[in-house]
Structure 1
Amino acid sequence: MSTKPTIVLVHGSWHSPTAMAPVANNLKAKGYDSVCPSLPTMGDNQSHDFKDKTCYDDAQLIRDTVSSLVSDGKEVLVVAHSYGGQVTSEAIREEMGKSARSKQGRNGGVIGLFYICAFLLPEGVVGLSWFLLPQFSPPTFVVPHPLKGYSTVHNGAHYFYNDLEPAAQDYWVGELRLATLTGHAKPTTYAAQRYFPTTYMHTSLDKTCEPALQQYMIQKNKEAGITGIREVTCEAGHSPFLSMPDKVVDEILVAIEHSQQHSALSQTPQRCFSASAPCQSYSTAAHLDPPTPAASPQRRYPPPPPLQPSPPPAHPHPSTDSADPSPAPDPVVVGRERNRMTSSLKMATGALRPIRLFLDFDGTITRKDTMNLVARIGYRAQERKRDGQSQEFPPWEHFVDTYMADYSDHVSRYRPVKEDRSTVEQEIMYLRSFRPIEDASMSRVVASGLFKDVAASHIESFAQECLRQQDDAHWQVSRRPGLHKLLKSLQVRQEQAMSQQPICHVISVNWSRIWIQAMLELGGDGCPPLLTTDGKTKSNIRIYANELSKTDKESGTSDLTGTTINCKTGEDKVKQMRCVIEEGNREQNCALNIYVGDSATDLECLLEADIGICIRDDPMGSGQKDLAEICGRVGLQVAHISDASDPDKATARILYWARDYHEVLVWIKSLR
């Protein structure tokens, strides 16, 4: 029997035992046996079992593999890479150690642990959760596929293999596999590094688990009472077992010597608590009481066959951004899918999840479109300025009729016709095709001079007048009830979630941001002001819209007296929404993005959000009917908001509807 320990290699996420072949073969040349089990949370398109597996299944496999070896009297050093570190810490128990077995008169046992840029987690920490801390780069390399139940890798050459030659990068990217979508985001219930001599290899060029995060993990282990971790540094990227396997093997051999010396000096592994006291640990997220997993049936896994070298191919695989051979993710909803992985991980930590609310204005905050009232601002201002002069402006009906004529002509010419547009992508292309119509309409209004020299004071005073004229249907502005309570509730939730981000973003194709702000600040239609002057609520609502007043040019996205109109179509709205999400994610990428709209112009934003909500009256208005017809025609399911019990399980092809903001508030209060 060999006196040298057997090395158990634990590969990382999206990888396979093949990636460990260079190290395994180097070890074999030096007389060391090694095994590298294939973790059950990885798979391919031909296998579906991996999608329902979790890190606990991976840990059980490693525990069974090591137990089989030590039962045969062999000494074992466990070497773990990346996510494999979380698996190893969960899998290897104190009673499997050489010291514990020696006291029972048995040979063999685990002599130590070796982590390669790996997740080194104390008890009670959710896997991957530390990636979400604001001081570290978010895991944008993770591409979740909620409809398929797995995740792939974006730009693996950069994140995993940045220190390899291009041909080698292409080859190893082609070897990446699929991984379970959320099965890795589970809290650890054990920390093996507390009981065994441990070496941690830092990788100074790492783009995945960046050096600062590696140092952070060491520090958090120390704070949890896990000390004495031996640290070494390798000038490599995230995969030193490929870029410099000789260096990795040399450090493994040093770790073996270190572990054997430790065993000779003491038969009692270092602890921070007495054997009778339960282990305690703390993470930067809310503290979790480690769950007690149900007892798993004993499973025996035969060691895999010896690893063989993987020679570089004569013709390397074409470079690819993921191991998924299926078509590229839907471009309409890719942002929604990409955010879901990090948000679901944050939810798993137990922290209250902040909400980022997006609202349309006309027909969503108000019951009806208000553009006809905005037009009256121009006529009112010009009447005051004219002072009896003869200049006249075409009636507003002239602009509306001309617009509708262009609109109808475009509809009649567009192909495919409505009945033949059966996909979301076709409908979005159709909606985007109206940009020239919108440009022409706005150009006509600007050229008329109707809004020339309109001041902010004109807009504000007219808004107040409209809110007070509730007896005249032509002047009436009615805001939907319940929004005030919803915003107040979100304010409290943001404070509890310790979020400093705005609670609400209004994105509108309306022509005046000042008009929208006045509608939110003023009372008079039976609704309290939505924006208050206390500074808190007002500063936490952002408005993105055009502006017809020169006096507030910098507040809106554009100026009707200029040549550029930045918010004319649904495409413009979703671009603005994506900018807000991207900016917000730099500080807090776990927020739940909710969009509420009422018409076809909102379709892209509804799909971009984690939860898209269509406001529906009874009976539905014309814009609401149009949106409902589109959803039915292109295969979008629309369920009541009460059915959206788990946002992280919502698919990219489902929207929700609500009668009012009271129903939205009830649903939000049901969330963690």
Structure 2
Amino acid sequence: MPTKPRRSTHFILDFDGTITQSDTLNTLVSIAASSKPEFPTQERWKAVVDAYISDYTATLEKLAPNGKFPTTVGGEKKLLRDLKAVEQRSLDRVFEARIFEGVTREVIEEGAERAVRGGEVGVREGCVGFMRSILASKEDKLHFIASCLKAAGVLVDPAVILANELEGIAEERASTGQISPEGSMKIVSSGDKLQYLEQIREQGTARIVYIGDSWPDIECLLAADVGICIRDEPMGSSQRKLAEALERLEVACPRILDHDGSAQSQVVWAKDFSEISTWLENHRFEAESTRAGTAV
């Protein structure tokens, strides 16, 4: 009897808080500030953050008054979709504040390398080995993510990175400071991440494994063949928010090492990439038949 061919696997990894140990946006702002010492980058960034928190809090209170969140997946998707406008307004404020104006590719690459070497950006345990096993090593290009991964020892083909980019960086010009201008790829919300996952699914029959850590990852975690939540012990605030959402929606989320691979639990959690690698090896997810993508 002929052997049934193994089904290939497409891994999609969130970046901030998943590949890295924490959010890296403040690091990127610090890199921009170091390149413009006479410009009040940090003061303007604080104003952007304060405005975002105020906008997000007020909008969420209108959409989910008194903390009454949805209890259905459909309701959760609608809530996340309605919050997209908050994220877009924040991107607009960043551009108007000129925080990233004048930043170059070289500045980002050198700053990212310093941040990784100095420990400001930390990669999760087991991640380097995991990514080396699933990624073809080609030239790096896309820029802050690729540079952080390169400094950590992983060379990434730009074709597998789905990420917001500063206008001008790819063309090796000083950036205008605009993030993913009109007409280019933009990942602002949970729904945007899901759109790219669905595009990947339409390309073939590969199994999709999505790895994320926060509430905006929930749609992809639920849509993937296997969704893996990264959790610290104790959980950080964004991890806790995702865990609470899964609980509200009555989605089981056992620890990955306790999961037998059955379809009853498609969402699991892992402490780090070493646990993920162990589980994948035990369930015959072959690295040589794997494609990979990253999303922020």
Task: Tell me the TM-score normalized by structure 1.
Answer: 0.39
SS at match of 1:373: helix
Q: How far apart are 1:417 and its partner, in Å?
A: 5.4
2:233 aligned with 1:618: yes
Counterpart selection for 2:148 from 503, 508, 519? 519
2:249 aligned with 1:634: yes
8 Å contact from structure 1 (residues 553, 559) kept in 2: no
| CA distance in 2: counterparts of 1:478 and 1:621, whole angstroms | 15
SS at match of 1:368: coil
Q: How far apart are 1:561 and its partner, in Å?
A: 7.1
Residue 211 (structure 2) aligns with: 596
Q: Deviating runs (4+, > 6 A) in structure 1? A: none
2:96 aligned with 1:478: no
Q: How far apart are 1:485 and its partner, in Å?
A: 2.1
Counterpart selection for 1:450 from 99, 122, 126? 99
| CA distance in 1: counterparts of 2:151 and 2:117, whole angstroms | 10
The residue identity in structure 2 corresponding to 1:664 is I
The residue identity in structure 1 corresponding to 2:150 is E
- Alignment deviations for residues 28-54 of structure 1 (CA, whole Å, 9 cap, x no partner): xxxxxxxxxxxxxxxxxxxxxxxxxxx
Pairs within 5 Å for 1:127-526: 287-288=2-3, 349=4, 351-383=5-37, 392-393=40-41, 394-415=43-64, 418-470=67-119, 476-490=120-134, 513-523=142-152
Q: How far apart are 1:616 and its partner, in Å?
A: 0.8
8 Å contact from structure 1 (residues 453, 550) kept in 2: no
Greater shift, 561-570 or 628-637, is seen at 561-570
Q: How far apart are 1:521 and its partner, in Å?
A: 0.7
Q: How far apart are 1:581 and its partner, in Å?
A: 2.3
Q: Percent sequence identity over matched residues? A: 32
The residue identity in structure 2 corresponding to 1:627 is L
| CA distance in 2: counterparts of 1:520 and 1:369, whole angstroms | 14
- Alignment deviations for residues 598-656 of structure 1 (CA, whole Å, 9 cap, x no partner): 0001001101110000011111111110001111111111012134433xx414x7410
2:273 aligned with 1:661: yes
Q: How far apart are 1:377 and its partner, in Å?
A: 2.5
Residue 543 (structure 1) aligns with: 161
| CA distance in 1: counterparts of 2:78 and 2:258, whole angstroms | 30
Runs (5+) with no aligned partner, structure 2: 285-296
Counterpart selection for 1:560 from 179, 186, 198? 179
8 Å contact from structure 1 (residues 452, 561) kept in 2: no
| CA distance in 2: counterparts of 1:468 and 1:489, whole angstroms | 22
8 Å contact from structure 2 (residues 229, 268) kept in 1: yes
The residue identity in structure 1 corresponding to 2:30 is R
SS at match of 1:577: helix
Counterpart selection for 1:530 from 154, 178, 181? 154
- Alignment deviations for residues 254-275 of structure 1 (CA, whole Å, 9 cap, x no partner): xxxxxxxxxxxxxxxxxxxxxx
The residue identity in structure 2 corresponding to 1:542 is V
Structure with the larger RCO, 1 or 2 (CA within 8 Å, 6+ apart): 2
2:188 aligned with 1:575: no
8 Å contact from structure 1 (residues 639, 654) kept in 2: no
SS at match of 2:169: helix
RMSD: 2.5
| CA distance in 2: counterparts of 1:663 and 1:541, whole angstroms | 27
Distance 1:522 1:541, change over 3 A: farther
SS at match of 1:618: coil
| CA distance in 1: counterparts of 2:243 and 2:180, whole angstroms | 35
Task: Tell me the TM-score normalized by structure 2.
Answer: 0.84
| CA distance in 2: counterparts of 1:561 and 1:571, whole angstroms | 16
Residue 293 (structure 2) aligns with: none
SS at match of 1:363: helix
| CA distance in 2: counterparts of 1:617 and 1:542, whole angstroms | 26
SS at match of 1:353: coil
| CA distance in 2: counterparts of 1:570 and 1:402, whole angstroms | 21
Q: How far apart are 1:355 and its partner, in Å?
A: 1.6
Distance 1:461 1:637, change over 3 A: same
SS at match of 1:612: strand
Distance 1:432 1:553, change over 3 A: farther
Q: How far apart are 1:560 and its partner, in Å?
A: 1.6
| CA distance in 2: counterparts of 1:513 and 1:601, whole angstroms | 22
| CA distance in 2: counterparts of 1:553 and 1:650, whole angstroms | 45
Distance 1:569 1:513, change over 3 A: farther
Q: How far apart are 1:488 and its partner, in Å?
A: 3.7
Counterpart selection for 2:263 from 640, 650, 667? 650
Distance 1:459 1:412, change over 3 A: same
| CA distance in 2: counterparts of 1:561 and 1:597, whole angstroms | 22
- Alignment deviations for residues 184-213 of structure 1 (CA, whole Å, 9 cap, x no partner): xxxxxxxxxxxxxxxxxxxxxxxxxxxxxx
The residue identity in structure 2 corresponding to 1:552 is A
| CA distance in 2: counterparts of 1:624 and 1:396, whole angstroms | 24
| CA distance in 1: counterparts of 2:283 and 2:244, whole angstroms | 30
8 Å contact from structure 2 (residues 21, 124) kept in 1: yes
Pairs within 5 Å for 1:83-98: none
